[in-house]
């Protein structure tokens, strides 16, 4: 194990050795264990109705059945994940493209913004039947709804970030003779990057919501339809297990965007900034040594 994985492991070990981190982790685990214990006790003593709130042991048994016995959750998990990621890529691509065009052209911004606002104020669930009629009952309608929901946060955050360029810095770029392309890629994009990734984080989880909403409306596969089937059979423990699987998927997608944000917008994260600075110092130091040796 080397490279990023090794550094991540070293960081986790160092954090685990921190007494403050261990104390906080112990407090969180104690509170969690207390909640689960009271919940289990209430379920076993009949103080909770199994049709409303099953005991944690029943939910754990449903998890085991879904993941280890039948294994049916895996395909549905993949279907929803694919729909959400595909919808995110399409919606984010269109949103960023239009936002860049709007940022660079006042006329385009003046005429495209009302349509973007109209898309945002239209409830996604209201257009679901129309999307199903247009794109069919398969994956395409779910991807289309996810892309629609993703579009607005990416468009707004990208446009806002690109338009928030410091005027003095832009004037300095012009004074130094920077081209429009250099100003865009070396000033506007780095300045907008934190807001763009903030939009990505919102959009990624929104894509998952859009895909699941479309599955509730009409689908034959996916996490949403699986949860619906168990709810109709009054298997609430399995429904909650599927719901927790949805949460796991959302956490997975959000963590992915957090890691991308940390690596791309590294100057906003002190630890990552220090690591990049050390890496560049070693590289530039090595280049300087090679030049000195070549001169000698």
* Residue 144, both tokens: 């289309």
Q: How far apart (Å, rounded) are the C-alpha atoms in residues 225 and 51?
A: 19
Residue carrying structure tokens 């085991």: 64
Higher-scoring residue by pLDDT: 104, 10: 104
Higher-scoring residue by pLDDT: 167, 87: 87
- Give me the pLDDT at residue 88, please: 93
- Give me the pLDDT at residue 270, please: 60
Instruction: Give, in order, the Cα–Cα distances in Å from 280 to each of 9, 46, 82, 289, 292.
Output: 22, 63, 37, 14, 18
| Residues belonging to the chain | 296
**157-216 confidence digits (pLDDT tens):** 998 888 887 777 878 878 888 787 888 888 888 888 888 888 898 898 889 888 888 888
Of 113-122, 163-172, 271-280, where does mean pLDDT reach its minimum?
271-280
Highest mean pLDDT among 10-14, 58-62, 90-94: 90-94
Q: How sure is the predictor about 152, in pLDDT bands with cuts at 50, 70 and 90?
A: confident
pTM, whole model, 2 decimals? 0.77
User: Which of 144, 151, 66 has the alpha carbon at shortest distance from 115?
Assistant: 151
Checking if the pLDDT of 254 tops 50, the result is yes
- Give me the pLDDT at residue 2, please: 47
Helix (H) or strand (E) holding 279: helix 270-295
Percentage of the chain exceeding pLDDT 70: 83
Q: How sure is the predictor about 280, in pLDDT bands with cuts at 50, 70 and 90?
A: low
- Give me the pLDDT at residue 130, please: 84
Instruction: Give, in order, the Cα–Cα distances in Å from 261 to each of 48, 188, 198, 228, 276.
Output: 43, 17, 8, 34, 14
Q: How far apart (Å, rounded) are the C-alpha atoms in residues 120 and 199?
A: 14
User: Which residues are CB-neighbours of 281 under 8 A, at least 6 positions away?
Assistant: none
Checking if the pLDDT of 265 tops 60, the result is yes
Q: How sure is the predictor about 1, in pLDDT bands with cuts at 50, 70 and 90?
A: very low
Checking if the pLDDT of 230 tops 70, the result is yes
Mean pLDDT across the stretch 27-47? 86
Mean pLDDT, all residues of the chain? 80
Higher-scoring residue by pLDDT: 11, 295: 295
């Amino acid at each position: 194990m080397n490279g990023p994985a090794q550094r991540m492991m070293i960081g986790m070990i160092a954090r685990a050795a921190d007494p403050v981190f261990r104390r906080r982790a112990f407090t969180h685990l104690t509170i969690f264990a207390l909640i689960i214990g009271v919940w289990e006790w209430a379920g076993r003593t009949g103080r909770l109705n199994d049709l409303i709130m099953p005991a944690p042991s029943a939910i754990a048994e449903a998890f085991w059945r879904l993941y280890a016995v039948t294994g049916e959750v895996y395909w549905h998990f993949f279907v929803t994940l694919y729909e959400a990621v595909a919808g995110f890529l399409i919606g984010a691509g269109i949103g960023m493209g239009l936002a860049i065009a709007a940022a660079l052209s006042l006329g385009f911004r003046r005429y495209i913004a009302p349509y973007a606002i109209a898309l945002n104020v239209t409830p996604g669930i209201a257009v679901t039947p129309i999307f199903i009629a247009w794109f069919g009952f398969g994956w395409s309608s779910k991807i289309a709804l996810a892309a629609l929901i993703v579009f607005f946060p990416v468009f707004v955050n990208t446009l806002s970030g690109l338009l928030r360029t410091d005027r003095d810095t832009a004037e300095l770029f012009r004074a130094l003779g920077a081209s429009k392309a250099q100003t865009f890629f070396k000033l506007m994009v780095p300045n907008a990057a934190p807001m763009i990734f903030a939009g990505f984080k919102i959009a990624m989880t929104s894509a998952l919501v859009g895909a699941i909403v479309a599955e509730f409306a009409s689908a034959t596969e996916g996490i949403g339809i699986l949860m619906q089937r168990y709810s109709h059979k009054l298997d609430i423990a399995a429904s909650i297990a599927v719901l927790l699987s949805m949460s796991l998927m959302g956490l997975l997608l959000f963590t992915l965007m957090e890691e991308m944000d940390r690596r791309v917008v590294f100057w906003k994260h002190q630890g990552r900034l220090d690591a990049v600075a050390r890496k560049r110092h070693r590289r530039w130091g090595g280049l300087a040594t090679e030049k000195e040796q070549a001169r000698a």
